[in-house]
Structure 1
Amino acid sequence: MFDPEDLDADLSVTGHVVTSQREFPRGEVRVRDGRVLAVRGTPSDAPAAERVDAGGAYVLPGVVDPHVHCLSHAGEGIEAATRSAAAGGVTTLLEMPFDEAGPVWSVDAFRDKRAAVLREAHVDVGMYATVEPGGQGIAEIPKLAAEGAACFKLSTFQTDPRRFPRTPDGEMLDAFAEIARTGLRVCVHAENDEIVQRNLARLRASGASGPLQHGLSRPPVAETAAVAAVLEFARASGVHLHFCHVSTPHAVDLVQWHRRTGTSVTTEVCPHYLTLTEQDMVRGGARLKYNPPLRTPAETDGLWHRLRSGALDMVASDHAPWPLALKQRDHVLDNASGGPGVETLLPLVAGAALHERRMTPRELVRCLSTRAAHAFGLGDRKGDLRPGLDGDLVILDPDAEWTVDGSRLRSHAGWSPFDGMRIRGRVRCTVSRGEVIWDGDSVRSAAGRGRFLAPAPFPAPPEEDG
């Protein structure tokens, strides 16, 4: 009987193969015409044009990073951010809509950015859109969905009235209802604007200026109050909801309650909330200024517990590559929030998960690839190693140790929030649609090889076997 696994392959990769459901300590992934042809429990002698032997290293699905800002600062750009992604094992990213040039909330802006993706990207890119406050943006939602928006991003907090505005509650509820009609997911930056703005005014009036003032301006209740309100909006509208960069375990618990009552909602956490705490700001200052802020060690432990149990769905970098000049102002509150992170996402999380937090490799695959792909309509192509899916994979040496040096990463930022951190886990090879784009030393792909990804109707996520 004809066996498709015996077909000639363009690429064969052998090693410790890990999918969302199974592990093969000496397995093989075979790729043909850019798609996975077969995943075998033992290597075959079937022909392959190119062979890569990972030895005992892990062969994982390419990482799906659902939260990247390529253009929050024009000095980065899509080319640099996706080049950095390739070096970090990220083969798919979802690009945020709040750009320095202005938000992506019109069809023209979306088309312009999509054209830039096709010119510049090294890896495959899906795109967020957003909704212009004031009411007029609601009518653009179905048009942007038709253009291929993967999801919509809204904020309960106003960073800037033009570039990153707050959506008032009534408009947010209307937007949720319209987005629900598209079947797409809405993603929310959840911090209560009134609580934060009041605290910022008080702190500035007090004259205090140390780095810990940032955390005091945004206490956990600012996040959880916003999460609770937005969950009710999602419950009322029936929209698929996603919370960006959750920093408190209690926020995850609120989400879990709503899930049990039928609300469609997913969550992400970021590496900085899993590896740094508020006390690190004493050392790192405004370099470690994030919104929401870093939390206590107890909250970090609580986030790991929820990630390990599956209550937290996925990990995202929230790559925001500000130049250091925007992170070195005298008062911590005057500095930009966020930092570069797409290239360090996989090694940081894998190192801690596998060596310190007792997560299995399959659990790692689910939170770094599979769940994000399914949440954003890409599960028919991305997020796992399975015949028919895109041939995206990464070789991770779980025992290789290295020290982060942001000046050597591929982002134009030239620094990292994790500078000087010793990591156990290194990306040895990245493959995108069957093409080796990172060989462990250099990016081998050319700008413009990445594809724009429009979402498909959400398939049912795979059952997880514990």
Structure 2
Amino acid sequence: MQPNIWDCVIRGGMVVLPDRVEMLDIAIKDGRIEALLPPLSAAGDVPVMDAAGLHVLPGAVDIHVHFNEPGLGTWEGFETGSAAMAAGGITTYVDMPLNGVPPTVRPEYLDLKKHAAENHSYVDYALWGGLVEGNIDQLQALADGGVAGFKAFMSEPGGEGEDIFTRADEQTLLEGMTEIARLGQVLALHAEDEQLVSVLAAEAQASGRTGIMDYVHSRPIEAEMLAVQQALSLARQSGCALHFVHISSREAVDIITAAKVEGMDVTVETCPHYLVLSEESMLEQGSLVKCAPPLRTRQQQNQLWEAVSAGLIDIIASDHSPCPPVMKQTDNFFTAWGGISGGQSTLLLMLEQGYHERAIALSQLMQMLATRPAERLGLGHCKGKIAAGMDADLVLVDLAGSYELTGSDLQDRHKQNPYTGYSFSLHIVRTLVRGCTVYEHQQGLTGSQAGRFVVRQTGGVVHG
């Protein structure tokens, strides 16, 4: 190898590889990892980035964010949302079709989403398409347009107006799964049984029970389990690959695990808020931490951590779901906006709670935070791990550097992060996207909005 052809060498860091952690130098050329080298073996006249005393992680891939453009950029736009990603060590995100207006359920709406993101993102990105009643004939065009996968709701997503994302009924799900299977893509599902949660919510509100725990009791674990079982039944009929988003219970994880043993193509995602926050957090922080499914008990949270440690969780994603603060301000907890704005904290929380507190190996954590998310959506050809030929998406972390997350650190628009004030025993030193620094701990954001749209690739074919 000839060092003089490299653009940069990251020297002396402990590099987190898919199966181990090893001190290596990383040579970068044209935004990609050119080589992984023994320490100090790279000589010659080449710029060096000193990573001594730091760990070098693959940039996290967050496949579940809501940046709400087009149409609702005052909630959260690509610029502010991607800035939070950069500060949090997320180098690629995949934006959901909800809550943009119009939602990404037709190819012309996908074009609007692409236009809104272009030249406005600090990090790289891909986009989900949506499955709703009446758009099955649009799925092929959405796939051709480059969506990384499709998303559907088994319970009502909420919202007002004509151009909103709507629930997919059983017939829509079956027909949609059949088409998505033909396209060779994956369907992500919000899995809560609408019949059960709507009845419980209506009964509670009719009797004047509109508090925090009334809401929690209206969306029990049983609703999650019923929806997961129904979706798996439809997937058996259609052959569709499924991804269950924001699973909140060990019971649902076990049902999905059994389907994997059966041979089904299915993955499970959970979120930091289910692993860090609890029902107690809702009583303390109120609507700031309202989400669906709701936060669970500490005991149920511990069972979910056991699933993480045992390798039963495939993916950890933020479900960063912001809104204007006024939408959180109501005396009726049922009507408060249900979404948590924690995307900037995902990697920090999982390193703190997973690595420091529970001794889960760094390689295992980054499989859930980077490698598997990229692979699941066909982005693994360039994202999700540190290896020669991959994009130089890297996060330099000081695992021994104390840090308190403050409001002034937050990059998202409304700064409603429930983890503000948390003390960490680590901090993110630098985030690089394709070899370029986009965030540095002391300086903050350092790059421009040069994030690129990433197209999915399966079987050697690039889609979109």
TM-score for both structures, normalised by structure 1? 0.94
- One-letter code aligned to 1:56: G
**Residue 54 of structure 1 aligns with which residue?**
51
Pairwise mapping of residues 56-455 of structure 1 onto structure 2 (< 5 A)?
56-71=53-68, 73-75=72-74, 76-133=76-133, 136-160=134-158, 162-440=163-441, 441-447=443-449, 449-455=450-456
Cα separation, partners in 2 of 1:405 and 1:266, compared to 1, 3 Å: same
The question of whether the paired residues in 2 share the 8 Å contact of 1:271 and 1:315 is answered with yes
- Deviation of 1:401 after TM superposition, in Å, equals 2.3
In 1, distance between residues paired with 2:125 and 2:60?
Answer: 12
CA contact (8 A) 1:95 1:127 kept: yes
CA-to-aligned-CA distance 1:13-71 (integer Å, 9 cap, x gap):
131111112211x3211111110011224232334643221222210000000101011
Q: How far did 1:361 drift? A: 0.9
Letter of the aligned partner of 1:58 in structure 2? H
AA aligned to 1:91 is T
Q: CA deviation at 1:387?
A: 0.3
Q: What's 2:25 paired with?
A: 28
The letter of the residue matching 2:288 is R
1:275-305 deviations in Å (ceiling 9; x for gaps): 0111111101111101110001121111111
**CA contact 2:154–2:193 (8 Å) conserved in 1:** yes
In the superposition, relative to structure 1, how do residues 80 and 48 fare at CA in structure 2: closer, same or farther (>3 Å)?
farther
Deviations 1:239-285 (A, max 9, x none): 11100000001111101111111110011110100101111111011
* Alpha-carbon distance in structure 2 between the residues aligned to 1:224 and 1:406: 37
Compare 304-313 and 381-390 and name the one that shifted more. 304-313
Q: In the TM superposition, what are the counterparts of 1:449-464 in structure 2 within 5 Å?
A: 449-457=450-458
Equivalent residue letter for 1:10: D
In 2, Cα distance between equivalents of 1:304 and 1:458: 34
Q: Secondary structure at the match of 1:140?
A: helix
Query: 1:406, 1:367 → 2: CA distance?
Result: 27
CA distance in 2, matches of 1:190, 1:453: 27
Pair 1:37-2:34 in alignment: yes
- Structure 1 counterpart of 2:64, one-letter code: H
Relative to structure 1, is the Cα distance of residues 50 and 163 closer, same or farther in structure 2, using a 3 angstrom cutoff?
farther
3-state SS in 2 of match to 1:98: coil
Cα distance, 1:104 vs structure 2: 0.7
Q: Displacement, 1:10?
A: 1.1
Structure 1 residues 423 and 458: CA distance shift in structure 2, 3 A: farther
8 Å CA contact 1:122, 1:445 repeated in 2 = yes
User: Match of 1:362, SS?
Assistant: helix
Contact map agreement 1:8 1:47 (CA 8 A) in 2: no
Residues 412, 263 of structure 1: alpha-carbon distance in 2 compared, 3 angstrom cutoff: same
Separation of aligned partners in 2, 1:21 and 1:111 = 39
Checking the alignment, whether the CA contact within 8 Å between 1:377 and 1:458 is kept in structure 2 is: no
Counterpart contact for 1:304–1:357, Cα < 8 Å: no
1:312-340 deviation digits (Å, cap 9, x = unpaired): 00110101122221112112111001121
Match of 1:302, as an amino acid?
A: Q
What amino acid is the match of 2:445?
V
Match of 1:55, SS?
coil
Q: CA deviation at 1:234?
A: 1.3
The AA in structure 2 aligned to 1:122 is Y
Q: 27-36 or 47-56, which moves further after superposition?
A: 47-56
8 Å CA contact 2:31–2:392 kept in 1: the answer is yes
Task: Assess if the C-alpha contact under 8 Å between 2:25 and 2:42 holds in 1.
Answer: no
Distance 1:41 1:225, change over 3 A: farther
Relative to structure 2, which stretch is displaced further, 410-419 or 248-257? 410-419
Unaligned runs of 5+ in 2: none
CA contact (8 A) 2:4 2:46 kept: no
Question: How far off is 1:423 after superposition?
Answer: 2.2
Moved more, 449-458 or 269-278: 449-458
Equivalent-residue separation in structure 2 for 1:47 and 1:244 (angstroms): 48
Could you list the runs of 5+ residues in structure 1 that have no partner in the other structure? 460-466
Structure 1 distance, partners of 2:208, 2:45, is 67
Q: 1:351 and 1:153, CA in 2 relative to 1: closer, same or farther beyond 3 A?
A: same
Offset of residue 198 of structure 1 = 0.7
CA contact (8 A) 2:132 2:172 kept: no
How much does 1:415 deviate? 2.0
Tell me how far apart the structure 2 counterparts of residues 253 and 209 of structure 1 sit (CA, whole Å). Answer: 32
The Cα shift of 1:210 comes to 2.6
User: CA offsets, 1:361-407, max 9 Å, x none?
Assistant: 11111111001111000111000000001010001112222223345
Kept in 2: contact 1:12–1:28 (CA 8 A):
yes
The DSSP-based 3-state class of the residue aligned with 1:103 is coil
Q: In structure 2, what is the Cα distance between the partners aligned to 1:424 and 1:214?
A: 34
What is the TM-score of this pair, normalised by structure 2?
0.94
Distance change >3 Å, CA 54–CA 209, structure 1 → 2: same
* CA 85–189 in structure 1, closer or farther in 2 if over 3 Å, else same: same
Identity %: 33
1:132–1:10: structure 2 CA closer, same or farther, 3 Å change rule? Answer: same
Comparing 309-318 with 393-402, greater Cα deviation is found at 393-402
